[in-house]
């Protein structure tokens, strides 16, 4: 009997050792958060977890309290080394023979800044240890993070001679000609990737007047008006024209939708806007699914 059990365990181990199919584009945004303690309870649960990663496994993810596990597929969890290898591979794909860098440009408020700082931590060395000291993220002693006071400033972070990340703090389409910043980025600077997010500042006055948790969907005349403003003819015309310009200039353009939070409704903020972007060159990076149940009310820090 024990031999049958051993054979069954060997078969299970063989099956679990295989990676799941690679996630399709944005397929890794479907999944669940799981406790690391739960994963580490047994070798089989750990092996099942590892099936969701390829190219070096989960890396430092297992050092966190909870980890995101994509549904029915496997993803690559980037490290400092694999990011720099990817940069060099992409430069070769673009047939670069000079020293021009691969250039990513990201615009947003403090929520997007947090994502940028997470990236800089990995690119600088370690997902856990960083370092993460630069003009975007600050250093806690003299250098403040990019915020309202640095609105519209292009802050370049060079991680090698071949990779540049530029962050610009913005607030809203209706704040100090954001459309000009957007136009300059796409038609003049022409980065390989342009990504931006707005939302929090559009709902800021409502959130301050109503501190109770906001509903996911528009639930008042105030929030409905903001939702419509975010997908107005002005925004639509600007995004449509710049979508065509980006396509002409070889710029990949992405709108990062909003994560769940208690200050404003994610669907109220983005449903109309995302509908407007359908069938256009704009991609939508989904932050919504991965953030559900993970964000709590915090004072807006700008």
The per-residue pLDDT for 296 is: 46
Distance CA 190, CA 157 (A): 16
pLDDT band at 17 (very low <50, low <70, confident <90, very high): low
Q: Calculate the average pLDDT of the chain.
A: 89
Only one residue has tokens 């669940």, namely: 32
DSSP string, 91-119: HHHTT--S-PPEEEEEEESHHHHHHHHHH
Neighbours of 229 (CB within 10 A): 15
106: its two tokens: 């990201």
Delineate the domains of the chain, giving CATH numbers in brackets.
2-70 (no CATH), 80-291 (3.40.50)
pLDDT at 56 over 90: no
Distance CA 27, CA 199 (A): 24
β-bridge partners, 158? 164
Q: How many CA atoms lie within 13 A of 296 on its CB side?
A: 0
Alpha helices (H) along the chain:
2-17, 36-39, 43-50, 80-93, 110-124, 178-184, 204-209, 221-229, 233-249, 266-277, 288-291
pLDDT band at 66 (very low <50, low <70, confident <90, very high): very high
Residues 6 or more apart whose CB falls under 8 angstroms from that of 162 comprise 87, 88, 91, 99, 101, 102
3-state secondary structure of 33: strand
- C-beta separation of 260 from 293 below 8 A: yes
Tell me the pLDDT tens digit for each residue of 86-121: 999 999 998 888 888 999 999 999 999 999 999 999
pLDDT band at 63 (very low <50, low <70, confident <90, very high): very high
Residues 6 or more apart whose CB falls under 8 angstroms from that of 102 comprise 87, 90, 91, 94, 162, 163, 164, 192
User: Counting Cβ atoms within 10 Å, is residue 222 exposed (0-12), middle (13-18) or buried (19+)?
Assistant: middle
Residues 6 or more apart whose CB falls under 8 angstroms from that of 212 comprise none
Distance CA 185, CA 153 (A): 12
3-state secondary structure of 241: helix
- C-beta separation of 295 from 259 below 8 A: yes
The per-residue pLDDT for 302 is: 52
The per-residue pLDDT for 177 is: 82
The per-residue pLDDT for 299 is: 44
Tell me the pLDDT tens digit for each residue of 152-199: 999 999 998 899 999 999 999 998 788 899 999 999 999 999 999 999
């Amino acid at each position: 009997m024990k031999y049958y059990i051993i054979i069954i365990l060997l078969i299970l181990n063989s099956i679990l050792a295989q990676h799941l199919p690679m996630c399709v584009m944005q397929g890794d945004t479907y999944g669940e958060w799981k406790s690391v303690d739960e994963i580490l309870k047994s070798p089989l649960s750990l092996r099942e977890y590892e099936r969701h990663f390829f190219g070096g496994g989960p890396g430092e993810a297992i050092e966190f309290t909870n980890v995101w596990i994509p549904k029915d597929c496997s993803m690559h969890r980037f490290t400092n080394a694999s990011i720099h290898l990817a940069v060099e591979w992409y430069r070769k794909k673009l047939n670069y023979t000079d020293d021009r860098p691969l250039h990513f440009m990201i615009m947003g408020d403090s929520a997007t800044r947090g994502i940028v700082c997470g990236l800089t931590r990995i690119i600088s060395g370690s997902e856990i240890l960083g370092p993460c000291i630069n003009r975007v993220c600050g250093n806690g002693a003299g250098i403040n993070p990019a915020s309202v006071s640095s609105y519209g400033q292009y802050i370049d972070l060079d991680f090698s001679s071949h990779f540049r990340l530029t962050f610009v703090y913005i607030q809203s389409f209706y704040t100090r000609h954001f459309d000009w910043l957007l136009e300059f980025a796409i038609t003049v600077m022409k980065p390989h990737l342009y990504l931006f997010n707005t939302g929090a500042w559009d709902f800021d006055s409502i959130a301050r007047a109503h501190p109770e948790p906001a509903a996911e969907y528009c639930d008042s005349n105030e929030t409905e008006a903001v939702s419509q403003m975010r997908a107005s003819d002005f925004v639509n015309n600007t995004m449509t024209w710049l979508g065509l310009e980006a396509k002409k200039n070889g710029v990949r353009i992405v709108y990062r939708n909003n994560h769940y939070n208690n200050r404003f409704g994610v669907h109220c903020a983005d449903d109309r806007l995302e509908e407007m972007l359908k069938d256009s060159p704009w991609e939508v990076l989904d932050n919504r699914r991965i953030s559900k149940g993970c964000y709590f009310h915090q004072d807006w820090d700008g």
